[in-house]
Amino acid sequence: IQKGDWVKVSSKRAWIKARAVVTKRVKPLAINGKTVHQVGIPLHGGWVNVSGEKQFLVNSLTPFVGDCNTQTPEYKTFLVNIEKA
């Protein structure tokens, strides 16, 4: 995946299409000897922007789980797949 490529990001709930921004600022993690990459997506969107391009609603990816004590949904960390669209 290169900068500017269209990608499909999917979770168990839904999928969205977005333009890739590849950066060295977000480093992969080493967990139990495996490399785990991070995906960051702004939570703004779900409308047609100035260029006329449709933006997907990122919240459709988030899980229906959260902290049972505070009833706070888990929006910041969850698993997704990413592939060229």
8 domain-assigned: yes
The pLDDT, as a whole number, for residue 48 is: 62
d(CA 71, CA 54): 32
53 domain-assigned: yes
Number of structural domains (the chain) is 1
Residue-wise pLDDT for 18-70, tens only, equals 889 889 898 999 999 999 988 888 776 555 666 666 667 787 888 877 777 88
69 domain-assigned: no
Kindly report the length of the chain: 85
Q: pLDDT tier at 8 (50, 70, 90 boundaries)?
A: very high
d(CA 85, CA 17): 7
The pLDDT, as a whole number, for residue 54 is: 67
The pLDDT, as a whole number, for residue 53 is: 64
pLDDT at residue 10 greater than cutoff 90: yes
Whole-model pTM?
0.74
44 domain-assigned: yes
70 domain-assigned: no
25 domain-assigned: yes
The pLDDT, as a whole number, for residue 9 is: 95
d(CA 65, CA 19): 27
d(CA 57, CA 47): 8
38 domain-assigned: yes
28 domain-assigned: yes
CATH number, domain with residue 3: 2.40.40.20
